[in-house]
């Protein structure tokens, strides 16, 4: 496990599969910002609202040259069924299932006791450097207005919250 992520750090690379079993290689995403939106578990109310919020803001992400991912430790079949249940058409839901929570552990946001990640948002710039990192209380819905403001001014140094 790495220490907690800090603003300006180059984020560690990963390869994960999405809910359609397509591989996402983080470092292949060039010339775009990336929002990694970690949620503890699919099929829970706050997590569903978090993913719906990402889906509802897809046009914003496109306009701000950003690709957003929802990430949890759920297996791919569960993520696929959940995406269908929520009507997700644009946002890719990544499975950090096996090795269990490997990416969340790398980023220092895995909750060993519960076996899930923290609820957290990480935004990286086009050079894979962290420009925003925030953990949320488990029942707290991330504020998309805050994310939009960060993306809109992403050429300025950001703060860790």
Indicate which CATH number applies to the domain containing 82: 3.40.30.10
Q: What is the pLDDT of residue 153?
A: 87
Domain-embedded: residue 116: yes
Cα gap 6→134, rounded to integer Å: 10
- If one counts the domains in the chain, the total is 1
- pTM for this entry: 0.93
Domain extent for 106: 15-152
Kindly state whether residue 79 falls inside one of the protein's structural domains.
yes
Give the pLDDT of residue 3. Answer: 64
Q: What is the DSSP letter of 57?
A: T
Question: Across the strands, what pairs with 16?
Answer: 24
**Positions in the chain whose pLDDT score sits under 70:** 1-3, 154-161
């Amino acid at each position: 496990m790495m220490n907690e992520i800090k603003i300006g750090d180059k984020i560690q690379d990963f390869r994960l599969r999405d809910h359609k079993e397509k591989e996402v290689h983080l470092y292949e995403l060039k010339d775009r910002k990336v929002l990694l939106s970690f949620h503890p578990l699919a099929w829970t109310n706050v997590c569903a609202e978090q993913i719906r919020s990402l889906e509802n803001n897809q046009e914003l992400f496109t306009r701000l040259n950003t690709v957003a991912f929802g990430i949890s430790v759920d297996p791919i079949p569960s993520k696929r069924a959940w995406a269908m249940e929520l009507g997700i058409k644009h946002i890719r839901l990544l499975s950090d299932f096996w090795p269990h929570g490997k990416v969340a552990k790398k980023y220092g946001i895995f909750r060993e006791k519960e076996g899930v990640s923290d609820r957290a948002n990480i935004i990286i710039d086009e050079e894979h450097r962290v420009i925003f990192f925030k953990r949320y209380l488990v029942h707290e819905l991330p504020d998309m207005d805050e994310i939009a403001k960060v993306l809109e001014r992403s050429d300025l140094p950001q703060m860790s919250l």
